[in-house]
Amino acid sequence: MTQTIFTYNQEQAIKAGNSSFIAETGAYICRIISAEYVQSQSGALSLELTVETKEGLRGNYLSIYYQGKDGSPLQSGHNMIQAIMGGTRVAELTRQFKDNKAYAPQLEGKYLGLMLQKVLRTKQDGSDTYGFQILCPFFHNTQKTLAEHLENKPAERIKWLIEHIKDKDDRRKQDQQQNYQAHQQLYGQSTSSSYPPPLADNLDDEIPF
């Protein structure tokens, strides 16, 4: 007796060998798998989203930092979380513990559009890696941002971002920071002005962790 085990599916066949994770800058319609409260080693606090796109691509470690390592609130992070709440129609976020981790259960299973920017970085061993940052959430069914929805305006912001936003390359910034730190260790804190740290003044403002 012959029994069919597999029937050819071209869509599944094409996916073989391809990444199952988000890999490019772009706008994605997502389902939120989890929203975890995370504290970095330095003490900075973030809300970390794990999402899955309608194409089945996974997005991990989408961190929104809302409190700096010094305990001060980060307004941009608070604004982003509020925009996500508005886009998912969630009135409040609570903290629920599961397996020694803290989650915001109100966001789990919600659908949301996310404009994501790929950020190129350098690992400790010198090799290249990348992550993603959320630029703008939007309503998954209309592609409108919260402001466009409230003001009854056409969906234009996300279209503009798709056309103009490219990958962000932070590798040079990291190299400059590492070179500056190495220079300080070698020659001490009182160094000549001939070696200015071009990006050191604002690094802490951009990287709260």
Distance, in Å, from the CA atom of 77 to the CA atom of 133, rounded to the nearest integer, reads 11
pLDDT of residue 49: 98
**Residue located via tokens 């973030």:** 46
Q: For residue 199, count other CB atoms closer than 10 A to its CB.
A: 16
Q: Which two tokens stand for residue 183?
A: 């220079």
How many degrees, rounded to 5, is the angle at CA 187 between CA 184 and CA 193? 75
Q: What is the identity of the amino acid at 83? A: A
Measured in degrees and rounded to the nearest 5, phi and psi for residue 200 equal: -70, -30
Q: What is the mean pLDDT of each run of 10 residues along the chain (209 residues)?
A: 79 66 97 98 97 96 97 98 98 96 98 98 91 98 97 98 97 61 51 38 39
What are the residue ranges spanned by the domains of the chain?
Answer: 20-169, 171-209
Question: 85 near 95, Cβ under 8 Å?
Answer: no
pLDDT of residue 184: 53
Q: Which two tokens stand for residue 106?
A: 């109100």
Q: Which two tokens stand for residue 126?
A: 């010198």
pLDDT of residue 172: 75
Q: SS3 for 143?
A: coil
Candidates 113, 44, 43; CA nearest to 83 is: 113
Which residues is 26 bridged to in the sheet? 116
Evaluate if pTM is beyond 0.85.
no
pLDDT of residue 114: 98
Candidates 8, 14, 17, 65; CA nearest to 204 is: 65
pLDDT of residue 175: 55
Question: 182 near 197, Cβ under 8 Å?
Answer: no
pLDDT of residue 196: 40
Distance, in Å, from the CA atom of 135 to the CA atom of 143, rounded to the nearest integer, reads 14
pLDDT of residue 197: 39
